Amino acid sequence: MALADELLSLLRTTTTETRSDEQLEALTLAVAADLPVLLWGEPGIGKTAVLTQLADSLDLPLTTVIASVHEPSDFSGLPIVGDDPEQRGVPMAPPRWAVDLVRAGRGLLFLDELSTATPAVQAALLRVVLERRVGALRLPPDVRIVAAANPRASAADGWELSPPLANRFVHLHWVHDREVVVRGLGGVWPRAELPRLVPERLPEAVAFARSAVCGFLTARPKLIHRLPSSETRRGGAWPSPRSWEAAMTLLAFGTAAAVSRDVLALLIRGVVGDGPGLELLAHLDRMDLPDPESLLDDPASAELPVRGDLRQAALEAMVIAVGSRPERERWEAAWEVLARALETGAPDLLAAPAMGLARLRRDDWEVPETIERLTGLVGITRQANQSVERVEAERAAEAHR
């Protein structure tokens, strides 16, 4: 047995390394933001293992509670009758694991098998997840909460999560990465690290997050609260004032830590759902677009986005700005911006903005020399002449009415 134990010890001895892992980065950022996280994944995918490794990396004591094998009183507390209940009331005694967490002052509370917990247990968990209270005890601020669940189709006697409980979590769908698994089985797993927040960027990050979420919800007020119609979707991420507050928190943390767009997308979609989350991400892209008026004021120094879709959106916004105040100088400046865009990016992105700009030409505006640099691209001169003919035809038709 001694040799067997030694062999098992060698098999269980592993190391960690710094490695790019978007799932792990999203998880650690949500933990740093003190938001409850729910990992969804098939059985055996490694959810429990990653939580164990996360606790070790962050030097947090791990407390695992299998939600499905507990009673509601294990979370709401057991009533203990004292000497004078009429005067002192009946206190709710907390379970041992909660007492240990309070004594430690910090830790990672792992609520496993959440989707197999009965509705009564889920209701009792509401107070634990939201208020951090277990019976009469309040969990310390340095306790973080992470849960795990299997989809109902693969859970043993599974239940859908109740909407109030589901709306309190950041939902991350955990999938295995072939390279991570192979390298981990070889003894080296990726290391979980808290995001590096830049102190100087904190005020700016908060201002950006508030402006982004408030600006988006002002434009899309129907998304402030939208309870899904199906029971399955109600058990996942969906938009509510609570989840938008979580999205704002994650956006501020992500901005301060300069995380990638993919990591931010996992987190935003994990709190407000795929549709609203993707709309917010598109809104963030538009916020990063250059001001059309700044492009028109100094075409020679115009800085355009590198990403193709953002570059095209910036050019189309500039065309709309010219159309809202059509002046010859602004029209000619827009052509200069298009010429600069041709020098610094893909030419196929210029067709739609160029044709839109050509349609704005007035019949007394001469075609600037700048257009000659673009005529081979989309036949701009021909388009400009056609726009004049169309304007004249419309005027003639109006005169005959």
Q: Encode pLDDT of 200-224 as tens digits.
A: 889 999 999 999 999 899 888 999 9
Q: Which helix (H) or strand (E) holds 171?
A: strand 170-173
Residues whose CB falls within 8 Å of the CB of residue 200, separated by 6 or more in sequence, listed in order:
none
**305 half-sphere exposure, CB direction, 13 A CA radius:** 20
Q: What is the 3-state secondary structure of 104-117? A: HCEEEEEEECHHHC
In 24-141, the DSSP E strands lie at: 37-40, 62-66, 78-79, 92-93, 106-112, 133-134, 137-138
Under 8 Å CB-to-CB from 254, ≥6 apart: which residues? 29, 263, 264, 267
Signed CA dihedral, 180, 65, 42, 185: sign only? positive
- Residue closest to 341 by CA, chosen among 305, 375, 368: 305
Q: Name residues of the chain where pLDDT drops below 70.
A: 81-90, 152-158, 372-401
Calpha distance 399→393 (Å, rounded): 10
Domain extents in the chain = 15-81+89-190, 199-287, 292-400
| Token pair for 328 | 């010859």
Domain 15-81+89-190 sits in which CATH superfamily?
A: P-loop containing nucleotide triphosphate hydrolases (3.40.50.300)
pLDDT of amino acid 67: 86
What is the pTM assigned to this prediction? 0.75
SS3 15: strand
Q: Cα separation of 113 and 109, whole Å?
A: 13
Determine the Cα–Cα distance for residues 111 and 276; give it in Å rounded to an integer: 27
3-state secondary structure of 38: strand
Q: What angle do CA 173, 178, 179 make, to 5 degrees?
A: 120
Looking at residue 381, its pLDDT comes to 44
Which pLDDT score is estimated for 282? 86
